Amino acid sequence: MPALGCCVESAVSPPLGYSFLSTPEIFSSGVPLSTNAVPLTTHWSPELSSDLYRVDGWGAPYFTVNSSGDISVRPHGTYTLPHQEIDLLKVVKKASDPINSGGLGLQLPLVVRFPEVLKNRLESLQSAFDYAVQSEGYEAHYQGVYPVKCNQDRFVVEDIVKFGSGFRFGLEAGSKPELLLAMSSLCKGSSEGLLVCNGFKDAEYISLALVARKLQLNTVIVLEQEEELDLVIDISHRMAVRPVIGLRAKLRTKHSGHFGSTSGEKGKFGLTTTQILRVVRKLEESGMLDCLQLLHFHIGSQIPSTALLADGVGEAAQVYSELVRLGAGMKFIDIGGGLGIDYDGTKSSDSDVSVGYGLQDYASTVVQAVRFVCDRKNVKHPVICSESGRAIVSHHSVLIFEAVSSTTTRSQELSSVGLQSFVEKLNDDARADYRNLSAAAIRGEYDTCMLYADQLKQRCVEQFKDGNLDIEQLAAVDAVCDFVSKAIGASDPVRTYHVNLSVFTSIPDFWAIDQLFPIVPIHKLDERPSARGILSDLTCDSDGKIDKFIGGESSLPLHELGSGNGAPYYLGMFLGGAYEEALGGLHNLFGGPSVLRVSQSDSPHSFAVTYAVTGPSCADVLRAMQHEPELMFETLKHRAEEFMHKEEEKEEDKEVAFASLASGLNQSFHNMPYLAPHSSCCFSAAANSGGYYYCNDENIVGVGAECAIGKEEFWPYCVA
């Protein structure tokens, strides 16, 4: 532990009756406060990093730390062979390297999607239910439904329809645009796949759903409100379409976590038992009771335990059996969402970011609960349906972003002359604090040291506000107090790492509901992290930071950033494939990230890029807020032309300068809002900001192949 007395040389002559902090032994026996430090070890390994960041807990079976110290993706889960693992750092380099170096020239932040992971999640869910159905002697089957609200991306939805067609996987919509999306997508899916229409409905929504029915899509209109039934009856008669109707029940069962607020008797959606009976009566009077075929319910997202799950499913099965008794043509029980994700790897049932069960536990609990009630009531086993969106898409998407700088922990170094000059300018009260601080240090009274250091700092701030202390002196007192804090182990060792990201755009659930996601460096994991940090984004907003992490941590173990060598430091946010992209906003006009779709292949690096698109440009986000970038560019161009003509230069030079300026302005509109790599400046040399690249799965491009982002389309009136 450095001695406080090293702050000044002992030869300094203090003012009369004053003693400087000059004893080398001061604080030598101080014990630093706990800082949640990384375990000390003489040897560091990727295995230690895996334990530190809990990768095997939250990441299995899709993510692991490889022998090079990088995060690897295992696209086929437990069935992934060693040569099929995809090094995430190599993917990022392929995406971000310049086109003339064989890369795609994409700018970060970057979302990387792995369709094989999505396929494995679907197959694993189906397999879990198939096993439960077989082992429990269940006399019906399971068929899933993907709620498109979790991620409406075209390729995500199309992949789910394609991968799930072999086992009757369907889609769920909660709005009119989602319904149109689902209708179009399911035209290429299984004819038995359900199209579940949830959400509040008007006449147009119901008409669309009935059109889907007329188009031979297996459509079910789920009543969220009792009033919707009158619309369904009326419009179905006018369109001469026999509807299939479901209803959403408000169960008494709910869980107490954050995601349980949408369940229970006070839940936002669904019908009470009284309303259910009125619906049954009205359908019977209309001769349409046979149309009521599905019961839907939702306990809440992230159901923490199988005990709660069994309770809710059992209650719903009782309601289902009663509907059968009342004469409804019941066929399906839709258990909704709730299949949870273990975000922190603890497998705990007492946390909003973890669950105490796996896929097989979940499936077996559901099948057992439904079978038990139906057998007791002598009711035919219904087809079991679930809307497990979070569990399906969370793992397949990784958000990659770069830490561009960090705060330093270096304090100003004071010479003996500087310290003496500083003390001489203090008022009497501040000098007394300094004297008391020195005496407390000599006595080893560390708490008292901090008290007098704080008092000294506050008095100096007041002097500065009154104009009696200059800024150099204020910096000097900061240095003294920082030194005292470090010497006794009371300083905060946590740095702020500035990241090229908008929390509000890419991780909105962290800001909105304190949802935690695993965040890990995707490389350098064969090195011991030497710092701890929080992450601060680019937005001009104090909430634009990440200061809570899995494991109850308030900081993250991180590595030193490359000092002057320009080496990037990449971080990955995992398990964010559900909701984040759809919920993200445009705070500070930062748009969404670039997107890369990567498939496993037999190429040397085990992957192929099948789709790449740069993120929204400055023009795109301006246009989203009703601005007209083309007119804005014209205004700036005319302004530039006006002032260029006033310059005392040759006409030829003016034309060249104007053309260069106009080209730079145009490029700025077309670039992404995020920090550009390598300090590129579009006014000195127009940078290629990207565009798009796409090829279908039948013609995938390997990482070693020649592939490029299309050239940017400039506005036609741009002078360039």
Residues serving a catalytic function are 540
Closest CA to 53 of 404, 528, 464, 660: 528
Q: Which residues contact 564 (CB under 8 A, 6 or more apart)?
A: none
Helix ranges (DSSP H) in 590-650: 618-624, 629-644
SS (H, E, C) 346-363: CCCCCCCCCCCCCHHHHH
The region, left, alpha or beta by phi > 0 then psi within -120 to 50, assigned to residue 579 is left
Q: What's the rounded Cα separation, in Å, for the pair 603 and 547?
A: 39
SS (H, E, C) 93-157: HHHHCCHHHCCCCCCCCEEEECHHHHHHHHHHHHHHHHHHHHHHCCCCCECCEEEHHHCCCHHHH
Q: What's the rounded Cα separation, in Å, for the pair 548 and 160?
A: 33
The answer to whether 517 touches 574, Cβ cutoff 8 Å, is yes
Structure tokens at 714: 């400039």
Q: What's the rounded Cα separation, in Å, for the pair 644 and 638?
A: 10
Cβ burial of 417 (10 Å; 0-12, 13-18, 19+) is exposed
The answer to whether 324 touches 263, Cβ cutoff 8 Å, is no
Asked if residue 109 has a cis previous peptide bond (ω within 30° of 0), the answer is yes
Indicate the helix (H) or strand (E) that contains 533: strand 531-536
In angstroms, what CA-CA distances link 657 with 232, 666, 683, 714?
Answer: 66, 14, 10, 19
Helix (H, G, I), strand (E, B) or coil at 195: strand
Q: What is the DSSP string of 456-522?
A: HHHHHHHHHHTTSS-HHHHHHHHHHHHHHHHHTT-S--EEEEEESS-HHHH-HHHHHH-----EEES
Structure tokens at 425: 């300018």
The answer to whether 491 touches 456, Cβ cutoff 8 Å, is no
Residue 54 carries which DSSP code?
T
Helix (H, G, I), strand (E, B) or coil at 561: coil
Q: What's the rounded Cα separation, in Å, for the pair 471 and 463?
A: 11
Q: What's the rounded Cα separation, in Å, for the pair 615 and 500?
A: 13
The answer to whether 329 touches 293, Cβ cutoff 8 Å, is yes
Q: What's the rounded Cα separation, in Å, for the pair 354 and 582?
A: 23
